[in-house]
A and B are shown apart, each in its own frame.
Chain A
Amino acid sequence: MTTRAEIEEAVIAILAQELLLPPGEISPDARIDDLGLDSLGKVEAIFALEERFGIAIPFNANEPDLPEFDFATVQQIVDGVERLIAQSAE
Chain B
Amino acid sequence: MRRVVVTGIGTVNALAPDVPGTFAALAEGRCGIGPLTFRDADRLTVRIGGEVRDWPSEGRFDPARLPLYDRVTQYAIAAGAEAMAMAGLAPGLGNRGGVILGTAAGGIATWEEAYRAVLAEGKNRVSPLTVPRLMHNAPASHLSILHGLTGPVLSVSSACASANHAMGLALQQIRQGAADVMLTGGTEAMLCFGGVKAWEGLRILAPDACRPFSLGRKGLVIGDGAGVLVFEAEDHARARGAQILAEVAGFGMSADAGDIVAPDPEGAARAMRAAIEDAGLSPADIGYVNAHGTGTLLNDRSEATAIRAVFGDAPPPVSSTKSMHGHAIGATGALEAVACLFALTRGVLPPTMGFESPDPDCNLDVVPNAARPSDVTACLSNAFAFGGLNAVLAFART
Classify chain B: how many residues form its interface, as a range.
10 to 19
Is A87 an interface position by the 8 A CB rule?
no
A46 to B262 CA separation, bound complex (whole angstroms): 18
Question: In this complex, which of A43, A59, A64 has the most chain B Cβ atoms within 10 angstroms of its Cβ?
Answer: A43
User: Hey, which chain B residues are within 8 Å of A33, CB to CB?
Assistant: none
Please tell me if the beta carbons of A43 and B206 are within 8 angstroms of each other in the complex: no
Please tell me if the beta carbons of B201 and A61 are within 8 angstroms of each other in the complex: no
Please tell me if the beta carbons of A39 and B262 are within 8 angstroms of each other in the complex: yes
A12 to B261 CA separation, bound complex (whole angstroms): 25
Please tell me if the beta carbons of A62 and B202 are within 8 angstroms of each other in the complex: no
Question: In this complex, which of B202, B203, B219, B297 has the most chain A Cβ atoms within 10 angstroms of its Cβ?
Answer: B203
Question: In this complex, which of A40, A47, A56, A60 has the most chain B Cβ atoms within 10 angstroms of its Cβ?
Answer: A60
Contacts A43-B201, A43-B202, A47-B201 given; does A62 touch B219 at CB 8 Å: yes
User: Hey, which chain B residues are within 8 Å of A38, CB to CB?
Assistant: 259, 262
Contacts A39-B262, A40-B260 given; does A61 touch B45 at CB 8 Å: no
A62 to B211 CA separation, bound complex (whole angstroms): 12
Please tell me if the beta carbons of A46 and B203 are within 8 angstroms of each other in the complex: yes
Contacts A39-B261, A39-B262 given; does A56 touch B45 at CB 8 Å: yes
User: Hey, which chain B residues are within 8 Å of A64, CB to CB?
Assistant: 297
Classify chain A: how many residues form its interface, as a range.
10 to 19
Which chain A residues (39-59) contact chain B, with CB distance < 8 Å? Answer: 39-40, 43, 46-47, 56, 59
Contacts A39-B261, A56-B45 given; does A62 touch B201 at CB 8 Å: no
User: Hey, which chain B residues are within 8 Å of A59, CB to CB?
Assistant: 203
User: Hey, which chain A residues are within 8 Å of B45, CB to CB?
Assistant: 56
User: Hey, which chain B residues are within 8 Å of A63, CB to CB?
Assistant: 218, 297
User: Hey, which chain A residues are within 8 Å of B202, CB to CB?
Assistant: 43, 61
Cβ proximity bits B200-215 to A, threshold 8 Å, 1 near / 0 not:
0111111100000000
Please tell me if the beta carbons of B297 and A61 are within 8 angstroms of each other in the complex: yes
User: Hey, which chain A residues are within 8 Å of B207, CB to CB?
Assistant: 60
Please tell me if the beta carbons of A62 and B261 are within 8 angstroms of each other in the complex: no
A40 to B219 CA separation, bound complex (whole angstroms): 15
User: Hey, which chain A residues are within 8 Å of B218, CB to CB?
Assistant: 60, 62-63
User: Hey, which chain B residues are within 8 Å of A43, CB to CB?
Assistant: 201-203
Closest to A65 in B: B297
Give the shortest distance, in Å, between B282 (CB) and chain A (any CB).
Answer: 35
Which chain B residues (189-205) contact chain A, with CB distance < 8 Å? Answer: 201-205
Give the shortest distance, in Å, between B323 (CB) and chain A (any CB).
Answer: 15
Please tell me if the beta carbons of A62 and B262 are within 8 angstroms of each other in the complex: no
Cβ proximity bits A8-29 to B, threshold 8 Å, 1 near / 0 not:
0000000000000000000000
- 15 inter-chain pairs at a CB distance below 8 angstroms, sorted by A residue, are A38-B259, A39-B262, A39-B298, A40-B261, A43-B203, A56-B45, A60-B206, A60-B218, A61-B203, A61-B219, A62-B204, A62-B295, A62-B297, A63-B218, A64-B297
Q: A39-B298, A43-B201, A60-B207 are in contact. List 14 more A-B contacts (CB 8 A).
A: A38-B259, A39-B261, A60-B203, A60-B205, A60-B206, A61-B202, A61-B203, A61-B219, A61-B296, A61-B297, A62-B217, A62-B218, A62-B295, A63-B218
The 8 A-B pairs at the shortest CB distance, nearest first, are namely: A62-B219, A62-B297, A61-B203, A43-B203, A62-B218, A61-B204, A59-B203, A62-B296
